[in-house]
């Protein structure tokens, strides 16, 4: 063989990350301990680097289940009692990432598969090899940092040790995680596409007589598909115009890691990936797959591992927008001093300041809301006053900006890199209130401060996504247990004055409430590629009273669930779900019949006689509230029509709260027993709807509301030759009626009269078997309430 081919062959073996079961050290090219001989490719690599680990040849053990000769050799470690002991591992060697022709990827981006298309599991090397319980081999995920939970050995015989996680293709440095009572939790950084991960368990209790520890290995394949088709959650740090760009920290922390803007960015980014990993795991546990919101990412110097800080390696990671506000530090912080006796007003002003800054920075367009989570960098603990200045914990927003805000007073306790997550949630260092705040007296130590800061900010993100306070879970301050999601043991708690949980299993962890998870399932930020498209489906939901005291619920996108609120309940304790367990909108009914009696029978005995409020949610993400179900189904909702029949009022849009608001209604005479032909409809409007007038043959007309707004209104003529009639309305409504569009039996639509971008959209079309008999509502200076009257 020519010398240059020999050299090429040596180079290939030295760079191999995978080895077939038949391969082994060849004479002349490797030393006695199995290491590859020095070549031009590896001469400059230090033996302490990660690359040197992967350059070493490892003992020949099989990863393929069809190599029975190799698999049966694993039984050699059985003793007389039938107990399996791991085989000895040679010095300075460990099982490598290897493959064989039978376990190759069948196509690019897919792990090896069985004949039925399911991922082929890789057998573990010993009974102490790590087993992943939270995600199956070959799964698809959609977030960069994935939370893993698993076991090493039999939990009935608990053992402690450490887990080393080696990432696919050496794209991320190995990370170590504690194993407590045979359980572990770990965070893994994923590359887009297939990721083949190796996990190795070490324990002093499993060492040789000479003290050397064995490596017990397993492998798992995870596929990462980044999402780019849904709106991102933007991450912002708000900075005053004269800010020193520092945050509160004790002197030891300042000396060790700094407290400047660059450190704040790293810590905020790491906290954001913890939010995402936690949420995806919670969604999966509730049966909705590993769905979560995404972040806008950019190509920048990596910060998710501390080694990137040293090497300057570039990665695609979450972008932290630094938004400079027009206010000074004093203006931000003095809000707390000037209005310390009116906390609600102060918090509202900080929220408005943040919203104005974010609106100016992002410039949202109509119909394209921005979802933004912000941190005030200039928050400061004022020991003399005993308050945290420049801080507010709020979430909410309007149609263009969905916003969450929080302060930086707990930021020093956050992890800045993946390697710091477990140490941060295990740090019992007491909070020094000479320099930093003990927020709500629940941050008496560093790990508890990390819970409050990261968890309470995530709570506000829940409000941003539309979640109210709940009966339990993270939206009821369950974030004081957030650490349990990422660690298996809990330190002493200054909050409870007790030793923490010895072993933190999934049942002990912080959670999103089921109703929060339902909201996320149908939120536009949580859409997966596998979800059916609802872009062209009306998202609104309508409620109608009909005969026999029944209520009909209609939604073109499907009825998702109904929440029940007996009088006195501020949080929801009772609800009914209508879609399939998979959460697929295709399995949700578009029309549901409810009875007040049947609904109240689902409540506890003591609440059945109380007034009942319901909230109805569609699979399109819309909701509709009925303040008093009994009133909706009572005779008050019945209308005697001109021909003697009974009409039924549907639920009304608008708040009917403008000055001088009075009831108004108009009959649609085309639905009477002796119908009159409708010739045209005139809508009176300006930036809202002032009135609607129906013109019939013989010069008759019916007016709803008044004739304000644009002089003469806007006319929409119907086709008499086709006997065209009105079948419904598309309405833009919020506190009042912003705009209305007429829908006809021939499929035509009028233009949208009024403010076409105001409020939210609702389609008012009677349920099956009913037709429009008229419209009713209220009107002051303009129409502030509108609903349909329907009949058989």
Percent of the chain surpassing pLDDT 90 = 62
Cross-strand bridge partners of residue 449: none
Output DSSP code: residue 501: -
Q: Do the beta carbons of residue 342 and residue 390 sit within 8 Å?
A: no
pLDDT score at 483: 96
- Given CATH 2.100.10.30, say whether it is the number of domain 642-791: yes
Rounded Cα–Cα distance for residues 691 and 684 (Å): 5
pLDDT score at 257: 94
Q: Each residue of 590-607: pLDDT tens digit?
A: 999 998 888 999 999 999
pLDDT score at 715: 96
Pairing of strands 714-717, 678-685: antiparallel
DSSP states of 299-344 as a string?
A: EEE--SSHHHHHHT-EEEEE-EEEEE-SS-HHHHHHHHHHTTT-HH
Which residues have a Cβ under 8 Å from the Cβ of 131 and sit 6 or more positions away? 124, 150, 151, 152, 218
Residue 392 pLDDT greater than 50, yes or no: yes
pLDDT score at 122: 53
pLDDT score at 757: 86
Residue 507 pLDDT greater than 90, yes or no: yes
Which residues have a Cβ under 8 Å from the Cβ of 730 and sit 6 or more positions away? 740, 741, 743, 749, 752, 761, 762, 763, 764
Q: Do the beta carbons of residue 651 and residue 787 sit within 8 Å?
A: yes
Catalytic residue ranges: 460
pLDDT score at 498: 92
141 band by pLDDT with thresholds 50, 70 and 90 = very high
Q: Of the ranges 79-88, 591-600, 697-706, 757-766, which one carries the lowest mean pLDDT score?
A: 79-88
Instruction: Return the higher-pLDDT residue of 458 and 366.
Output: 458
Which residues have a Cβ under 8 Å from the Cβ of 342 and sit 6 or more positions away? none
CA distances 383 to 84, 389, 444, 456, Å, are: 61, 10, 15, 22
Rounded Cα–Cα distance for residues 202 and 110 (Å): 30
Chain mean position to CA 791: 42
Instruction: Return the higher-pLDDT residue of 720 and 85.
Output: 720
pLDDT score at 93: 40
Residue 445 pLDDT greater than 60, yes or no: yes
Q: Of the ranges 35-49, 563-577, 606-620, which one carries the lowest mean pLDDT score?
A: 35-49
Q: Of the ranges 170-179, 198-207, 267-276, 704-713, which one carries the lowest mean pLDDT score?
A: 198-207
Residue 508 pLDDT greater than 50, yes or no: yes
586 band by pLDDT with thresholds 50, 70 and 90 = low
pLDDT score at 634: 86
Structure tokens at 726: 């009105």
For 611-639, what is the mean pLDDT? 90
Q: Each residue of 195-243: pLDDT tens digit?
A: 999 999 998 888 776 767 778 899 999 999 998 889 999 999 999 999 9
What are the boundaries of each domain within the chain? 121-226, 233-524, 536-632, 642-791
pLDDT score at 596: 87
Closest CA to 352 of 335, 337, 329: 335
pLDDT score at 123: 56
pLDDT score at 26: 37
Q: Do the beta carbons of residue 654 and residue 786 sit within 8 Å?
A: yes
Rounded Cα–Cα distance for residues 615 and 767 (Å): 19
pLDDT score at 790: 93
Same fold? 121-226, 642-791: no
DSSP states of 533-595 as a string?
A: P-TTS---EEEEE-GGGEEEEEETT-EEEEEEEETT-SS--EEEE-S-TT--GGGS-SEEEEE
Rounded Cα–Cα distance for residues 633 and 626 (Å): 11
Q: Which CATH number describes the domain made up of 536-632?
A: 2.60.40
539 band by pLDDT with thresholds 50, 70 and 90 = confident
Percent of the chain surpassing pLDDT 70 = 81
Instruction: Return the higher-pLDDT residue of 126 and 8.
Output: 126
For 735-744, what is the mean pLDDT? 95
325 band by pLDDT with thresholds 50, 70 and 90 = very high
681 band by pLDDT with thresholds 50, 70 and 90 = very high
pTM: 0.81
For 44-69, what is the mean pLDDT? 33
pLDDT score at 143: 94
pLDDT score at 510: 95
- Residue 498 burial (CB count, 10 A): 10
Instruction: Return the higher-pLDDT residue of 764 and 213.
Output: 764
334 band by pLDDT with thresholds 50, 70 and 90 = confident
CA distances 258 to 237, 242, 482, 666, Å, are: 17, 20, 25, 69
Closest CA to 15 of 56, 58, 64, 65: 56
pLDDT score at 347: 66
Structure tokens at 791: 């009949």
Q: In what order do the strands lie in the sheet containing 394-397?
A: 320-324, 233-239, 370-376, 401-407, 394-397
Across all residues in the chain, what is the average pLDDT? 83
pLDDT score at 39: 38
Rounded Cα–Cα distance for residues 187 and 149 (Å): 9
| Phi, then psi, of 356 in degrees rounded to 5 | -65, -40
345 band by pLDDT with thresholds 50, 70 and 90 = low
Residue 760 pLDDT greater than 90, yes or no: no
What beta strand segments (E) does 379-520 contain?
A: 380-382, 387-389, 394-397, 401-407
Q: Of the ranges 78-87, 250-259, 504-513, which one carries the lowest mean pLDDT score?
A: 78-87
Which listed CATH number (3.20.10.10, 3.30.1480.10, 2.60.40.10, 2.30.110.10) goes with 121-226?
A: 2.60.40.10
Closest CA to 687 of 787, 780, 757: 757
Closest CA to 21 of 123, 127, 119: 123
Which residue is it, tokens 């020095």? 38
Q: Each residue of 83-124: pLDDT tens digit?
A: 344 444 443 344 444 433 333 333 333 344 444 444 455 555
Which residues have a Cβ under 8 Å from the Cβ of 779 and sit 6 or more positions away? 661, 662, 664, 690, 691, 704, 705, 706, 785
For 534-553, what is the mean pLDDT? 83
Contacts 24+ apart (CB under 8 A), 599-602: 599/564, 599/629, 602/564, 602/574, 602/576
pLDDT score at 584: 61
For 374-403, what is the mean pLDDT? 94
């Amino acid at each position: 063989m020519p010398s240059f081919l020999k050299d090429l062959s040596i180079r290939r073996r030295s760079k191999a990350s995978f080895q077939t079961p038949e391969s082994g050290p060849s004479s002349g090219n490797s030393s006695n301990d199995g290491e590859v001989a020095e070549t031009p490719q590896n001469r400059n690599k230090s033996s302490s680097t990660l690359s040197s680990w992967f350059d070493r040849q490892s003992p020949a053990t099989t990863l393929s289940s069809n190599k029975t000769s190799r698999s049966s050799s694993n039984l050699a470690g059985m003793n007389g009692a039938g107990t399996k002991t791991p085989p000895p591992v040679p010095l300075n060697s460990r099982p490598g990432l290897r493959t064989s022709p039978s376990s190759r990827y069948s196509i690019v981006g897919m792990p090896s598969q069985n004949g039925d298309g399911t991922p082929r599991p890789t057998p573990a090397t010993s009974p102490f090899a790590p087993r992943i319980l939270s995600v199956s081999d070959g799964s698809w995920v959609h977030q960069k940092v994935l939370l893993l939970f698993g076991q090493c050995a039999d939990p009935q015989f608990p053992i402690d040790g450490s887990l080393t996680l080696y990432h696919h293709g050496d794209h991320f440095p190995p990370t170590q995680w504690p194993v407590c009572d045979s359980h572990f939790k770990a965070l893994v950084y994923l590359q887009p596409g297939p990721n083949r991960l190796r996990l190795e368990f070490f324990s002093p209790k499993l060492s040789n007589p000479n003290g050397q520890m064995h490596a017990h290995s397993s492998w798992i394949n995870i596929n990462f598909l980044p999402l780019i088709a849904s709106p991102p959650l933007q991450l912002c740090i708000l900075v005053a115009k004269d800010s020193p760009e520092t945050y509160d920290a004790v002197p030891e922390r300042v000396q060790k890691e700094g407290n400047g803007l660059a450190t704040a960015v790293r810590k905020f980014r790491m906290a954001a990936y913890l939010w995402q990993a936690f949420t995806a795991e919670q969604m999966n546990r509730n049966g909705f797959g590993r769905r979560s919101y995404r972040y806008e990412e950019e190509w920048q110097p990596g910060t998710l591992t501390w080694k990137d800080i040293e090497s300057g390696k570039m990665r695609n990671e979450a972008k932290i927008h630094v938004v400079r506000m027009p206010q000074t530090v004093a203006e931000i912080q003095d809000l707390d001093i000037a209005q310390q006796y009116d906390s609600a007003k102060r918090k509202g002003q900080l929220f408005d300041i943040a919203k104005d800054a974010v609106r100016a920075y992002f410039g949202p367009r109509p119909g394209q809301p921005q979802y933004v989570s912000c941190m005030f960098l200039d928050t400061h603990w004022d020991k003399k006053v005993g308050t945290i200045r420049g801080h507010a914990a709020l979430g909410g927003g309007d149609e263009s900006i969905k916003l969450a805000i929080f302060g930086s007073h707990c930021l020093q306790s956050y992890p800045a890199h993946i390697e710091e997550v477990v140490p941060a949630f295990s740090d019992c260092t007491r909070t020094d209130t000479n320099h930093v705040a003990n927020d709500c007296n629940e941050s008496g130590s560093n790990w508890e401060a990390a819970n409050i800061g990261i968890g309470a900010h995530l709570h506000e993100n829940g409000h941003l996504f539309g979640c109210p306070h709940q009966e339990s879970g993270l939206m009821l301050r369950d974030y004081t247990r957030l650490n349990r999601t990422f660690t298996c043991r809990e330190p002493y708690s200054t909050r409870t004055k007790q030793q923490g949980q010895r072993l933190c299993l999934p049942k002990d962890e912080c959670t999103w409430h089921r109703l929060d998870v339902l909201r996320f399932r149908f939120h536009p930020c949580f859409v997966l590629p596998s979800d059916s498209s609802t872009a062209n489906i009306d998202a609104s939901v309508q409620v109608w009273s009909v005969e026999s005291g029944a209520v009909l619920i209609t939604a073109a996108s499907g009825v998702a669930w109904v929440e029940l609120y007996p009088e006195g309940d501020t949080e929801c304790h009772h609800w009914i779900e209508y879609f399939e367990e998979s959460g697929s909108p295709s399995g949700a009914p578009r029309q549901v019949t409810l009875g007040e009696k049947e609904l109240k029978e689902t409540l506890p005995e003591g609440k059945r006689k109380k007034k009942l409020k319901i909230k109805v949610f569609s699979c399109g993400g819309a909701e509709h509230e009925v303040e008093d179900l009994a009133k909706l189904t009572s005779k008050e909702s019945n209308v005697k029509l001109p021909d003697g029949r009974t009409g039924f009022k549907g639920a009304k849009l608008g708040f009917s709260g403008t000055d001088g608001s009075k009831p108004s209604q108009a009959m649609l005479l085309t639905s009477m027993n002796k119908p009159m032909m409708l010739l045209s409809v005139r809508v009176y409007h300006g930036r809202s709807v002032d009135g609607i007038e129906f013109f019939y043959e013989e010069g008759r007309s019916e007016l709803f509301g008044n004739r304000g707004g644009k002089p003469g209104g806007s006319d929409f003529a119907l086709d008499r030759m086709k006997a065209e009639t009105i079948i419904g309305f598309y309405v833009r409504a919020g506190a009042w009626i912003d705009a209305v569009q007429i829908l006809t039996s021939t499929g035509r639509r009028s233009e949208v009269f009024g403010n076409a971008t105001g409020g939210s959209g609702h389609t008012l079309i009677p349920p099956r078997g009913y037709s429009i008999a008229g419209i009713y509502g209220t009107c002051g200076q303009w129409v502030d309430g509108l609903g349909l009257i329907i009949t058989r």
